[in-house]
Amino acid sequence: MFKKMSFLLVAMSLASCVPIAETSKSKLDFRAPSSIVEGAALKDYNSEIQMAGRSYVESVLLQVFDAEGTSAATYILSDIYQKIEFGGACDQYAASDVGVPGSTTVEFVRERCVNSIGVVQPSNNNPMRYSLTTKVCEKLVLDAPRLISVRNKIFADQKWGDPTDEKVLMAWRLFHQATDADSDVLSALKDIRKVTPNNDEAWKIIILTLCMSPEWQAL
Amino acid sequence: MSSEKKNFELDRRSLLKNILVGTGLGTSGVMNTFLTNMMISFMQKGTAQAAGVDPAFEDFKFISLVMAGGLPRYYWDLPLNPNGNDDFVVNPMVVTKFNPDGSTNYSTTKVGNYYLPHVWNSKIPTTGGTAPMKDIAKHMMIMRGIDLQIDSHDIDRYRQIAPVPGGISLSGLIADSASTPIPAVGRNGGGNYYQGEKGIAYLELSGGNPLTTAISPFTPFSSMLSLNSGAVEGAIDQALLRMQASATNKGKFIPSTFASRFNAKKMMMKQFGDLQAQFNSLVMKYRGLITRSFGPTAELKLVGVEDISFPGNKGPRQRISENEYFSGTDILSITDMNTLIADLAEGMAIAEYMIINGLSSSVNIQSGGISNFLVQESYNQTTKAVARTNSRITQGTDVHFVGSDIALVLFTRYYRAISACLNELMSRLKETKTSGGNLFDKTVIAVTSDFNRLPRLDGSGADHGWEGSNYTVFSGMFDELKVVGNVKKTDSANRGTWGLAGGLNEIGGREAIIGNVATTVSNLLELKTPTPNDTSFTAKEKGKAKLVITSVKNVA
């Protein structure tokens, strides 16, 4: 009983010591990170996050999943490249038709904007781009030939093996050329194996997680 | 149970415990248990959120209604004789009421402890009938006598929200602290002066279907692995949280990108109905309030302004543009049930939807000119001929050339429309309950323009009144009308009392500037201020605002 009371007292005193700002950080799940988390980042606050544009994101996905010339390229085009949420100009005049009444054929089809957000959108940190990326990444990992392409870049024997530090780091580097994952991140990615029934499923989720991470899109 | 099966059932509690240990927070058993429980309660809060109890409603909200063009404020929210016995010098342009003979005067009405312009005797349309305009004043704070220091439409309009050009904006700061999934939105250019500290994006919602534009990227497809998959979903989230923590050391702002990604997930888990229909319905509601304000029925007509009909006389007081003067049979005909304030209804619809649904915390909307202004007949003083008959024009709000009679009728109705829209939005905010009250208690609605107007002495129009601007906020943080700020009783050209900034003893005799306003709004929203060297007019106490600068005088 005394131990329980002690725990409660400790807990209450800890709670009372938490400043208001810290308490509000409790909503971290859907909140911009606190100043504690960003710390040094706040030194230069006169700039927004610059994110990679749509052509970069498209290019990474095409290459990681060897999607060029496949059906995946079609939805990467429509769901990433042609979405102005990823920033850059979407030139509505570039998508002129070819002069045939009723024709759906257009010149420069890659430049056709498929939504109605303003003509120019900065390539910045907005939740819409992450939703779109998540959906495309989910499609890619459920697209068996695309996932096999990734597997073959990580496992020379063309079979999914255990997600070791080395293999997870290889997967990480497919998306992040210039930075390495630290041990905490590698551990968290390896832990995915604990909630999946086999290595095949684990790697599907690991690749999905890396694909949907915003980090490789931040400049 | 096999080890594989056991591993497969690794629950969220274990995952969170691992996170805490991994991040060094779980340094002791008690601490670990306590923090784990705390984290789990937060995740449960996230689950409750999906079920409809949304912590997004607990944050502060900032809505800025920007009346572009530089509106004359002395018709509505700039009291020039606030105590009823102030030194007041008449200017023929600064009038609020017609006399029975068609001449004009500056007339006031008592609202709370102050005397506001005559228009506050007006009724405003509501969705269920009418209400006294005075009803909204009890939640209102007027800051008058603000010297903007710069004469520029765009820069001064921007500085109402971002007081230092190119610097941090109030709209950006509130977005930085937001729990909402699309923190900052707006319509008609708020992105030009949006700047936060954490790189949270501003979304411009243009077009005729802006809610669909905002929401459509979040529509999920069935059976997504990262959504609703139990342990797998939790493991993905855990890995991403680890990446977020790790990213802190790698580069500026990257953690914010992870926060935005979690917001994207939140949105993908929500259900939205027919957004086009919902937007159209909201627009129609606000348009109804606006058109009823401009074409008032008998019960809405303001005695002293709209009960007196007289023909045009082609004089300076009836100027409608640079060379045109009203010459029709009835000056009250200039607006009717077809008259609108450009993009006001659309902006109010966006504000209501995005705030009431817990989607945004910072909404910046901008209204434009007055469309379907009816010119019964006008006379061109240059050509000495009738210029128009029964023509519909858009009357701009940069009213250099709108005479006092026309302006009195026009802005009585304009501000009735603004008041009606604000009343409706405030009602919806009050209906939205939070843990400590209602959403209006956590919301600041700023009503701004580029600047006030400098009235001409011949009653033929008004120029840029940037040296005597004012700024009004509405919030549940106020329980009675508050007015603060000194103005000069006249200026060097003896234009009379129009709002020119006067010194305040509380700040060493200096005139209030937009930095004082920004600090005040920051104080209300409990944010840091973008102008830390300028003091606030208010202080917060138990969620309510009180004045700490109280001067409200007309000074020499």
Nearest to B528 by CA among B134, B173, B99: B173
Q: Is A30 close to B262, i.e. CB distance below 8 A?
A: yes
How does residue B498 score in pLDDT terms, banded at 50, 70 and 90?
very high
Asked whether residue A71 carries a pLDDT value surpassing 70, the answer given is yes
Distance CA B73, CA B62 (A): 22
Does the pLDDT value for residue A8 go beyond 90?
no
Listed range (B124-128, B215-219, B236-240, B546-550) with the worst mean pLDDT: B215-219
Question: Nearest CA of chain A to the CA of B43: how many Å?
Answer: 8
Return the pLDDT at A40: 33
Question: What mean pLDDT, rounded, does chain A reach?
Answer: 74
Region of poorest pLDDT, from A105-109, B62-66, B102-106: A105-109
Q: Do A132 and B217 touch (CB under 8 A)?
A: yes
Looking at the partner chain, which of B15, B232, B244 has a beta carbon nearest the beta carbon of A205?
A: B232
Q: Where does A23-86 show beta strands of DSSP type E?
A: none
Question: Which residue has better confidence, A194 or A36?
Answer: A194
Nearest residue in chain B measured CA to CA from A183: B246
> Taking CB atoms and an 8 Å cutoff, what residues of chain A touch B46?
29-30
**Is residue B51 scored above 50 in pLDDT?**
no
Q: Which of B258, B268, B435 to mutate to test the interface with A (most CBs of A within 10 A)?
A: B258
Task: Report pLDDT for A19.
Answer: 33
Of A33, A48, A195, Cβ closest to residue B231 = A195
pLDDT value at B27 more than 60: no
Q: How far apart, in Å, are the Cα atoms of B132 and each of B111, B238, B248, B299, B451?
A: 11, 54, 53, 11, 27
Cβ <8 Å between B265 and A33: no
CB B148 within 8 A of CB B513: yes
In terms of DSSP bridges, do strands B104-105 and B97-98 run parallel, antiparallel, or are they unpaired? antiparallel
Entry field: residues in chain B: 556
Q: Which residue has the tokens 């973008």?
A: B530
Is residue B409 within 8 A of residue B334, CB to CB? The reply is yes
Residues in A closer than 8 angstroms to B49, CB to CB, are 30
* Chain-chain contact of B264 with A131 (C-beta, under 8 angstroms): yes
pLDDT for A18: 31
pLDDT of residue B439: 96
Q: Does A9 touch chain B (CB under 8 A)?
A: no
| Residue B472 near residue B114, CB atoms below 8 Å | no
Residue count of chain A, please give it: 219
Q: Do A29 and B43 touch (CB under 8 A)?
A: yes
What was the pLDDT predicted at B21? 35
Residue A24 binned pLDDT confidence (cut-offs 50, 70, 90)? very low
Contact (CB, 8 A) for B530 and B522: yes
CB A67 within 8 A of CB A76: yes
Residue A48 pLDDT? 56
Res. B18: pLDDT tops 60: no
Give the tens place of pLDDT for each residue, B367-404.
999 999 999 999 999 999 999 999 999 999 999 999 99
| CA angle B46–B49–B52, rounded 5-degree value | 165
- The B residues from 254 to 293 touching A (CB cutoff 8 Å) are 254-268
- Residue B553's CB is within 10 A of a number of other CB atoms, namely 17
Mean pLDDT of B122-147: 98
> Cβ B251–A125 below 8 Å, yes or no?
no
Give B97's pLDDT tier (boundaries 50, 70, 90).
very high
Candidate from B81-90, B177-186, B347-356, B440-449 with smallest mean pLDDT: B177-186
Residue with tokens 């498209």: A58
More confident residue, B517 or A51: B517
Given a contact cutoff of 8 angstroms between Cβ atoms, the answer to whether B453 and B411 are in contact is no
Three-class SS state of B429:
helix
Distances (CA, A) of B148 to A193, B64, B153, B440: 61, 18, 11, 29
Please report the beta strands in B148-208, taking only residues with DSSP state E, as ranges in sequence order.
184-187, 202-204
Among A147, A132, A126, residue whose Cα is nearest residue A218: A126
**How many other C-beta atoms lie within 10 A of the C-beta of residue B491?**
18
> Residue B395 in contact with residue B320, Cβ under 8 Å?
yes
pLDDT at residue B53 in the model: 44
What's this model's pTM, rounded to 2 decimal places?
0.80
HSE (side-chain half, CA atoms, 13 Å) at A21? 11
Angstroms from B377 CA to nearest CA on chain A? 39
Q: What is the pLDDT of residue B258?
A: 86
Residue A43 has pLDDT above 70, yes or no: no
Any B CB within 8 A of A126 CB: yes
Kindly list the distances between the CA atom of residue A128 and the CA atoms of A124, A139, B147, B474, B548, in Å, as whole numbers in the listed order.
10, 17, 40, 31, 42
Provide mean pLDDT across the span A182-191.
Answer: 96
Of A120-124, B405-409, B422-426, B445-449, where does mean pLDDT reach its minimum? A120-124
The number of beta carbons lying within 10 Å of the beta carbon of residue A3 is: 8
Q: Taking a C-beta distance cutoff of 8 angstroms, is the pair B477, B444 a contact?
A: yes
What is the rounded distance in angstroms from the CA atom of residue A163 to the CA atom of residue B10?
Answer: 17
Instruction: Enter the DSSP assignment of A33.
Output: P
pLDDT digits (tens, 9 = 90+) for B58-73: 889 999 999 999 999 9
pLDDT of residue A112: 55
How far CA B386 is from CA of A216, A219, B15, B322, B331, in Å, comes to 67, 62, 80, 14, 16
Per the CB < 8 Å rule, is B178 touching A188? no
Strands (E), B61-101: 61-67, 97-98
Beta bridge partners of A89: A120
pLDDT of residue B45: 37
- How confident is residue A37, by pLDDT bands cut at 50, 70 and 90? very low
B201/A contact by beta carbon, under 8 A: yes
Highest mean pLDDT among B42-51, B255-264, B521-530: B521-530
* A23 has a pLDDT exceeding 60: no
Instruction: Record the tokens describing residue B19, joined without a space.
Output: 């996170």
Residue A99 has pLDDT above 70, yes or no: no
Do B344 and B367 touch, CB atoms closer than 8 A? yes
**Interface probe, candidates A5, A24, A31, chain B, greatest B C-beta count within 10 A:** A31
User: How far is the C-alpha of A51 from the C-alpha of B362, rounded, in Å?
Assistant: 22
Q: A196, B8: Cβ pair inside 8 Å? A: yes
> What number is the average pLDDT over the span B224-246?
88
Strand residues in B27-113 grouped as ranges (E) = 61-67, 97-98, 104-105, 108-111
Q: Could you tell me if A118 lies within 8 Å of chain B, comparing CB atoms?
A: yes
Q: Which residues contact B434 (CB under 8 A, 6 or more apart)?
A: B57, B58, B441, B442
Given CB atoms, is B250 within the 8 Å cutoff of chain A? yes
**pLDDT tier for residue A22 given thresholds of 50, 70 and 90:** very low
pLDDT of residue A9: 40
CB contact (8 A) between residue A185 and residue B204 = no
Of B65, B42, B12, nearest to B179 by C-alpha is: B42
What dihedral angle (degrees, nearest 10) is formed by the CA atoms of B412, B414, B416, B419? -130
3-state secondary structure of B56: helix
Within the 16-45 window of chain A, which residues sit less than 8 Å (CB to CB) from chain B? 24, 26-33, 37-45
Report in angstroms the alpha-carbon separations of B319 from B341, B373, B389.
Answer: 20, 14, 15
Q: Does A26 score more than 50 pLDDT?
A: no
Flag whether residue B49 sits within 8 Å of chain A, measured between CB atoms. yes
pLDDT band at B206 (very low <50, low <70, confident <90, very high): confident
- Which of A105-109, B26-30, B53-57, B79-83 is modeled with the greatest confidence? B79-83
Nearest CA in chain A to B199: A48
When mean pLDDT is compared across A12-21, A71-80, B77-86, B272-281, the lowest value belongs to A12-21
Nearest to B545 by CA among B138, B173, B178, B172: B138
pLDDT digits 0-9 by tens, B126-138: 999 999 999 999 9
Q: Which residues contact A175 (CB under 8 A, 6 or more apart)?
A: A60, A64, A210, A211, A213, A216
- Decide if A200 touches B, using CB distance below 8 A: no
What percent of chain A has a predicted confidence (pLDDT) above 70? 60
pLDDT at B435: 86
**Better-predicted residue by pLDDT, A125 or B169:** B169
Tens of pLDDT along A188-201? 999 999 999 999 99
The beta strands (E) that lie in A98-173 are given as 120-121
- For chains A and B, CB pairs below 8 A equal 256
Q: Between B384 and A52, where is the model more confident?
A: B384
Q: From B45, which residue of chain A is nearest by alpha-carbon distance?
A: A27
